[in-house]
């Protein structure tokens, strides 16, 4: 019998990589999707039609849909990845963020319990380094105190504690992976890394003039999402349910990410000025390619995330530096250079076709 996994947030960056990973391990993979007016699920389109890949409509804000899917699928493992995952957006939609990222976790746990799966089903909760927020120690490990610093982080803090509570109160096998930022070619386009790699590719190909960013000095521990989903699985294969920090142990600034991404796109950036006046200038042409905009500053910003993955390395045998920072940035830029070339080629073909139709060359 194949093991059965249920993934919430299956259409997201991590959900798509985790689906691939579990299918390779012979799992029967079920995913929960939301109804949308545009029904194109880009990140998982290549998996649709796979005989062991199934999708169900549901929503983390809707207990009945969760009960219905969990009760019928009866999973051995649940990966709760669904969330309003954008920190800046959580300042604009704090109530929805709390409903999905906090109460949503409770809905999943209760659905498992009420469906009679409390003893058999293992649950992974997508916790976050944002819990450390206004950091109280550097680097951060499993014993570092939390200091959440955004509506997103406060909601995720509830998720973390309710998982711990269900573990202790009901003896359920539920754990949190405290994951530091992880990126990829599939990263949402408004997170800083992808925003930078796409802009570098567009600027290199003459499709954009300038990139506007917020806090360039913010520090992150960036890893590769494809490597991190393995750890989610390892956490659920463990003998005991425990929480783990998942990080690379290496820290860089947004400015450094930018310089490296532009380098791989064929431009060398030099930063001059400070604060809102700081600018990234192309050394060769002298053109300003990066500017700071107040639009991308947050009311409270987390500026010093740096994880210590020693526990995961020792107890789960996980390799935190499988993909280096340099390799990650290169992968993302190469992907986006191709994406922008394809967009240009498609536009050219469309323009040619329109011209031929107009001139009656084709009908």
Residue 112 has, within 13 A of its CA and on its CB side, a CA count of: 28
- Give the containing element (helix H, strand E) for 244: strand 244-246
Report 299-358 residues binding ligand GDD (CB under 6 A).
301-303, 305
Stretch that binds ligand GDD, among 36-44, 124-132, 233-241, 348-356 (CB under 6 A): 124-132
**What does 90 bind: ligand GDD, ligand NAP, none (CB cut-off 5 to 8 Å by kind)?**
none
Residue 152 annotated in active site: yes
The answer to whether residue 13 forms part of the interface with ligand NAP (CB under 6 A) is yes
Q: Does 236 bind ligand GDD (CB under 6 A)?
A: no
| Alpha carbon separation from 47 to 16, 17, 54, 231, 342 (Å, rounded) | 9, 11, 9, 21, 22
H/E segment holding residue 232? helix 225-237
Can residue 82 be called a binding residue for ligand NAP (CB under 6 A)? yes
Q: Which stretch binds ligand GDD (CB under 6 A): 198-206, 231-239, 241-249, 293-301?
A: 293-301
Single out the residue of 19, 129, 176, 304 in contact with ligand GDD (rule: CB under 6 A).
129
Q: Which of 19, 181, 197, 259 binds ligand NAP (CB under 6 A)?
A: 181
- Count of residues that bind ligand GDD according to CB under 6 A: 25
Question: Is there a catalytic annotation at residue 128?
Answer: yes
Q: Could you say whether residue 195 binds ligand GDD (CB under 6 A)?
A: yes
Asked about 142 being catalytic, the answer comes back as no
Structure tokens at 55: 């999708």
132 binds ligand GDD per the rule CB under 6 A: no
> In this chain, which of 16, 181, 251, 259 binds ligand GDD, going by CB under 6 A?
181
Are 6 and 33 within 8 A, CB to CB?
no
- What stretch of H or E contains 162? helix 151-170
How many C-alpha atoms does 343 have within 13 Å on its Cβ side? 12
Catalytic residue among 27, 124, 132, 152: 152
Element housing 98 (H / E): helix 94-98
186-205 CB burial, b ≥16 within 10 A, e <16: bbeeebbbbbbbbbbbbbbb
Q: Which of 128, 193, 197, 323 is catalytic?
A: 128
Please say whether the beta carbons of 296 and 212 come within 8 A.
Answer: yes
Rounded to 5°, angle at Cα 74 from 69 and 79: 75
Q: List interacting residues with ligand GDD (CB under 6 A).
A: 85, 87-88, 128-130, 180-181, 190-193, 195, 213-215, 218, 220, 254, 296, 298, 301-303, 305
Q: List interacting residues with ligand NAP (CB under 6 A).
A: 8-9, 11-15, 32, 34, 36, 59-61, 81-85, 100, 126, 128, 179, 181-182, 188
């Amino acid at each position: 019998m194949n093991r059965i996994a249920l993934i919430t947030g299956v259409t997201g960056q991590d959900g798509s990589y985790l689906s691939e990973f579990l299918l390779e391990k012979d799992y029967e993979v079920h995913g929960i999707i939301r109804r949308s007016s545009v029904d194109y699920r880009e990140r998982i389109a290549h998996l649709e039609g796979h005989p062991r890949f199934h999708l169900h409509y549901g929503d983390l804000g809707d207990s009945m849909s969760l009960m219905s899917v969990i009760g019928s699928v009866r999973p051995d493992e649940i990966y709760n990845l669904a969330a309003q995952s954008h920190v800046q957006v959580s300042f604009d939609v704090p109530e929805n963020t709390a409903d999905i990222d906090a109460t949503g976790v409770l809905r999943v746990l209760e659905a498992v319990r009420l469906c009679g799966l409390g003893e058999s089903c293992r649950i992974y909760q997508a916790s976050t380094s944002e819990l450390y927020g206004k950091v109280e120690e550097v680097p951060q490990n499993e014993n570092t105190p939390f200091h959440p610093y955004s509506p997103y982080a406060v909601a995720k803090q509830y998720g973390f504690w309710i998982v711990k509570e269900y573990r202790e109160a009901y003896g359920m096998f539920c754990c949190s992976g405290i994951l530091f930022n992880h990126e990829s070619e599939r990263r949402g386009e408004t997170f800083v890394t992808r925003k930078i790699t796409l802009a570098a590719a567009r600027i290199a190909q003459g499709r954009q003039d300038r990139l506007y960013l917020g806090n360039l000095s913010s520090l992150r521990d960036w890893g590769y999402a494809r490597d991190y989903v393995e750890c989610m699985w390892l956490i659920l294969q463990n003998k005991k349910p425990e929480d783990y920090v998942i990080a690379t142990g290496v820290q860089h600034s947004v400015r450094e990410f930018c310089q490296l991404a532009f380098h791989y796109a064929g431009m060398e950036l030099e930063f001059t000025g400070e604060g809102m006046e700081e600018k990234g200038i192309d050394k060769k042409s002298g053109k300003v390619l990066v500017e700071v905009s107040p639009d991308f500053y947050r009311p409270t910003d987390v500026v010093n995330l740096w994880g210590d993955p020693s526990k995961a390395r020792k107890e789960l045998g996980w390799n935190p530096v499988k993909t280096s920072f340099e390799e990650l940035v290169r992968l993302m830029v190469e992907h986006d250079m191709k994406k922008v070339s394809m967009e240009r080629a498609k536009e050219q073909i469309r323009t040619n076709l329109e011209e031929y139709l107009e001139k009656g060359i084709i009908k």
